[in-house]
């Protein structure tokens, strides 16, 4: 326990060092100032040191580690409008309990989820994505299809042979052998199209990063998704957002033909929330009260392969969120706080490189603005030897 506390203090100390990057006190010595700046300008030092500390904690596997293991932190810089860059971090914690019942080619799944998500800037004025969300969700999900044909023992043996031939071809960088192995394997793995409908009941607590604005939000969500797994099926031609990327993959030589991705069909989420504002000075100033209100929301998400460059897959990810208050008063409409929309997208590769763009405003964001990002990401708590 003492060891856990000691490493926790080291981690906090390093995070404090990072925060010093935003504004260093004038009265500290040059040596300390230089050391702090070195740490702050190299977030990988902080991440690596913290990861090593976590590895030591992991060896003892105390109950606290189970919590830390499911907590993701990512140090990042924020930049909005004409403000200087500010250092901060995003955090995410997810945990769930699930029960799935399979019946023929459909599955009914029920789950309970606990989810914390947000962005925190060490100087809050620099945070353009000033929105923290803590949520409890019950989910009931129906999935139809996506079932595979039952193989005989001989067919299974052929399938294993094709798998080994595929990885032999990839080791040898032999494209012709790879294509032959994929064709051979495809004979024994044929899937039906898959349809997904989920109904969620959720309770969430939303706030800005200093909790000066808070609200309590119960609601329901309808989640839908499609995977056109059938190779000869027409459904994949309805994957409209993938058309420009299919063209890019074809022109860049990533794909040999113009082929739409079966896996990248967009997902959508529709929600109805009953919002009980806790502290929201702007809303109170506009309406004079903090009455509960009903809000509809929509989220659409899409991710596809854009290209493969030097053996690195470049993924394109995008997400659009829209919130709209029902029966909003004219005062709220005039103050532009009756609806919010937010779009974000990025190009990223598995080596950590990313380019991102976001535009719009989430509930509690101070301004509607374009934010660009460019850099490498480092993941805390995942020290790989």
Partner 1 sequence: MWERTSAMCVTLGATLIRLDQINDSTTFAAIGPMKMQDLQFYNTTASSGINAASALQLATTIDGVLTNSYGDTYQASYNTNKAIAAMTAVMSAADKTVENLSDAIVTAYIPGP
Out of 25, 63, 153, 253, the only residue in the binding site for partner 1 (CB under 8 A) is 153
Among residue numbers 299 through 328, which ones bind partner 1 (CB under 8 A)? Answer: 299, 301-305, 308, 311, 313, 315, 317-319, 321
Using rule CB under 8 A, residue 188 touches partner 1:
yes
Residue 320 Cβ, how far from partner 1 at the closest point, in Å?
Answer: 9
SS3 212: coil
- The sheet carrying 86-103 orders its strands as 71-78, 86-103, 106-121, 132-145, 194-207, 214-227, 267-279, 293-309, 312-325, 339-349, 353-360, 369-376
Residue 98 Cβ, how far from partner 1 at the closest point, in Å?
Answer: 4
CB 14 within 8 Å of CB 50: yes
**What character string, x for contact with partner 1 (CB under 8 A) and - otherwise, covers 259-288?**
--xxxx--x-x-------------------
CA distance 347 to 353: 8
Residue 14 Cβ, how far from partner 1 at the closest point, in Å?
Answer: 19
- 81-to-9, 102, 125, 142, 345 alpha-carbon distances in Å: 35, 51, 11, 44, 18
Using rule CB under 8 A, residue 161 touches partner 1:
no
C-beta closer to partner 1: residue 213 or 227: 227
- β-bridge partners, 102: 107
CB 326 within 8 Å of CB 315: no
Kind of pairing, strands 194-207 and 312-325?
unpaired
C-beta closer to partner 1: residue 175 or 282: 175
CA distance 286 to 74: 36
Q: Following DSSP, what letter does each residue of 123-157 receive, concatenated?
A: SGGG-SS--EEEEEEEEEEEEEE--BPPPPHHHHH
C-beta closer to partner 1: residue 190 or 329: 190
CB 55 within 8 Å of CB 75: no
Query: Taking Cα atoms as reference points, which of 381, 330, 364, 310 lies closest to residue 89?
Result: 381
Using rule CB under 8 A, residue 48 touches partner 1:
no
C-beta closer to partner 1: residue 12 or 263: 263
Out of 38, 61, 66, 92, the only residue in the binding site for partner 1 (CB under 8 A) is 92
Residue 57 Cβ, how far from partner 1 at the closest point, in Å?
Answer: 16
Out of 3, 175, 203, 374, the only residue in the binding site for partner 1 (CB under 8 A) is 175
Q: Which stretch binds partner 1 (CB under 8 A): 21-29, 77-85, 93-101, 288-296?
A: 93-101
Out of 118, 344, 362, 364, the only residue in the binding site for partner 1 (CB under 8 A) is 344
**What character string, x for contact with partner 1 (CB under 8 A) and - otherwise, covers 128-147?**
-------x-x-x-x-x--xx
Using rule CB under 8 A, residue 247 touches partner 1:
no
CA distance 10 to 15: 9
CA distance 328 to 306: 41
Among residue numbers 345 through 364, which ones bind partner 1 (CB under 8 A)? Answer: 345-346, 348, 350
C-beta closer to partner 1: residue 35 or 49: 49
Residue 363 Cβ, how far from partner 1 at the closest point, in Å?
Answer: 13
Q: Which stretch binds partner 1 (CB under 8 A): 31-39, 184-192, 211-219, 361-369?
A: 184-192
Kindly determine how many residues on this chain lie close enough to bind partner 1 according to the rule CB under 8 A.
86
Q: Give the single-character DSSP code of 85.
A: P
Backbone angles phi, psi at 284, to 5 degrees: -65, -40
Among residue numbers 191 through 210, which ones bind partner 1 (CB under 8 A)? Answer: 191, 194, 196, 198, 200
**Residues 6 or more apart in contact with residue 25 via CB below 8 angstroms:** none
C-beta closer to partner 1: residue 200 or 325: 200
């Amino acid at each position: 326990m003492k060891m856990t506390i000691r490493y926790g203090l080291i981690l906090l100390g390093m995070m404090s060092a990072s925060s010093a990057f935003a504004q260093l006190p004038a009265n500290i010595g040059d040596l300390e100032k230089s050391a702090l700046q070195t740490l702050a300008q190299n977030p990988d030092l902080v991440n690596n040191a913290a990861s090593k500390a976590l590895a030591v904690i992991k060896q003892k596997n105390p109950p606290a580690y189970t919590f830390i293991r499911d907590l993701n932190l990512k140090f990042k810089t924020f930049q909005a409008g004409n403000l200087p860059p500010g250092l901060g971090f995003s955090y995410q914690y997810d945990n769930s309990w699930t029960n799935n019942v399979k019946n023929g080619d459909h599955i009914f799944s029920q789950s309970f989820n606990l989810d914390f998500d947000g962005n925190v800037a060490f100087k809050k004025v620099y945070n353009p994505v000033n929105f923290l969300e803590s949520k409890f969700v019950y989910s009931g999900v129906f999935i139809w299809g996506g079932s595979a044909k039952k193989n005989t023992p001989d067919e299974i043996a052929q399938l294993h042979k094709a798998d080994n031939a595929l990885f032999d071809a990839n080791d040898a960088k032999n494209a012709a052998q790879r294509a032959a192995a994929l064709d051979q394997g495809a004979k024994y793995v044929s899937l039906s199209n898959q349809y997904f409908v989920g109904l969620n009941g959720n309770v969430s607590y939303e706030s800005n990063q200093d909790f000066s604005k808070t609200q309590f939000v119960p609601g329901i969500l309808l989640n839908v998704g499609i995977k056109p797994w059938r190779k000869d099926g027409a459904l994949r031609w309805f994957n409209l957002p993938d058309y420009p990327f299919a063209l890019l993959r074809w022109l860049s030589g990533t794909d040999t033909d113009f082929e739409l991705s079966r896996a990248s069909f967009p997902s959508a989420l529709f929600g109805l929330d009953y919002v009980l504002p806790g502290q929201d000075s702007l809303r109170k100033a506009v309406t004079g009260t903090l009455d509960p209100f009903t809000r509809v929301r929509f989220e659409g998400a899409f991710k596809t392969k854009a290209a493969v460059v030097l053996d690195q897959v470049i993924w394109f990810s995008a997400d659009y969120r829209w919130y709209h208050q029902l029966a909003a008063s004219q005062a709220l409409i005039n103050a532009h706080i009756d609806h919010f929309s937010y779009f974000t997208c990025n190009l990223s590769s598995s080596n950590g490189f990313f380019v991102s763009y976001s535009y719009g405003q989430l509930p509690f964001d101070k301004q509607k603005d374009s934010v660009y990002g460019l850099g490498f990401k480092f993941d805390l708590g995942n020290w790989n030897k």
